[in-house]
Amino acid sequence: MASEEEPSEDTADSDLPESADGESSTIGLALTPVKWIGKQWYLWTRDLFIGAAIVVGIIVLATLILGIWPPMGAVSSGSMAPTIGVGDAVVFSDTDRFQPAAADQHGIVTREVGMEENYTSFGDYGTVIMFENPNAGGVEIIHRPMFYVEEGENWVKRADEEYLLDAESCSHIDSCPAPHAGYITKGDNNNYYDQAQIGQAPIKPKWVNGVVEAKVPHVGWLRVIFA
């Protein structure tokens, strides 16, 4: 009776999976569940780090280009709808960046001047600005500057009576004559000037934090929800 031969080392090695260069590989066989989990965790954290680094790089670059921090904000009201809606993210630039020829000394184009110079943004004449009124709680507001007034000016004479909340004269407006120079502002979706309300003074140029350059629809919802 012929005796059974023991498999040679060459035969045993030939049963192992070969790598791309034709050599036998034991890497796949050596991965225990613990090692496999560790490898997946490494790959996940590496990809997360790379993604975070890219996002940070984009934000830093945008800040350098636009000259403002943060360079993006979320819209939480419908006062500029439908052009800029609730949940949209908007990109700002400093007022001294990208100034159009029609801009005033503060880098802003009012709707009044925009009509004269045929300058439009976001579906209407003039620029859209982001500002804070310290006399109104310092809340950030995104509206359109309608026209600029000087201190002591009876600006109602230049206003559209449709947006005066039924005020018939300067004496019926809390901020008229203008207590100081600044912008009369209005949300595109509002039927009144901001300054037609009680306690709302013209927006001083130094209260303007930036000019809206672009919008990204719906990206700002997360911030709006958790604000």
- CATH number of the domain bearing residue 152: 2.10.109.10
Residues 52 and 16 in one domain: yes
User: Is 1 domain-assigned?
Assistant: no
Closest of 130, 97, 105 to residue 212, by C-alpha: 130
CA 24 to chain centre: 55
Q: In this model, does residue 225 exceed pLDDT 90?
A: no
134 lies in some domain:
yes
Cα separation, 96 vs 105, whole angstroms: 9
Statement to judge: residues 41 and 139 lie in one domain: no
Same structural domain, 16 and 88: no
**Domain match, 77 and 120 both:** yes
Whether residue 57 is found in the same domain as residue 81: no
Residue 202 lies in a domain: yes
Encode burial over 104-127: b for 16+ CB neighbours within 10 A, e otherwise.
Answer: eebbbbbbbbbeeeebebbeebbb
Domain count, the chain: 2
User: Mean pLDDT over all residues of the chain?
Assistant: 82
The highest-confidence range among 25-29, 57-61, 135-139, by mean pLDDT, is 135-139
For the cut 80, the answer to whether the pLDDT of residue 218 exceeds it is no
Q: Which two tokens stand for residue 129?
A: 């600005």
- Least trusted range by pLDDT, from 39-43, 68-72, 110-114, 143-147: 68-72
Same domain, 78 and 110: yes
Q: What is the pLDDT of residues 30-52, one digit of tens each?
A: 568 777 777 778 778 887 888 77
pLDDT tens readout for residues 160-175: 999 999 999 999 999 9
Last residue of a domain, one of 46, 66, 86: 66
pTM, to two decimals? 0.72
Residue 3: inside a domain: no
Select from 66, 90, 110 the last residue of a domain: 66
Q: Both 39 and 104 in a single domain?
A: no
> For residue 129, what pLDDT band results from cuts at 50, 70 and 90?
very high
Neighbours of 219 (CB within 10 A): 14
In a shared domain, residues 57 and 130: no
Q: What is the pLDDT of residue 199?
A: 87
Q: Would 53 be classed as within a structural domain?
A: yes
Whether 143 maps to a domain, the answer reads yes
Q: Please check whether residues 36 and 86 belong to one and the same domain.
A: no
79 belongs to a structural domain: yes
Domain that holds residue 138: 71-226
Same domain, 40 and 120: no
> Is the confidence at residue 194, as pLDDT, over 50?
yes
Q: What percent of the chain has pLDDT over 90?
A: 50
- What confidence category does residue 71 fall into, taking pLDDT thresholds of 50, 70 and 90? confident
Indicate whether 129 and 193 sit together in one domain: yes
Specify whether the backbone of 2 is left (phi greater than 0), alpha (psi in -120 to 50) or beta.
beta
What's the pLDDT tens digit per position in 91-128?
Answer: 998 988 878 999 999 999 999 999 999 999 999 999 99
The verdict on residue 4 lying in a domain is no
- Identify whether residues 110 and 163 lie together within a single domain: yes
Is residue 144 predicted with pLDDT exceeding 90? yes
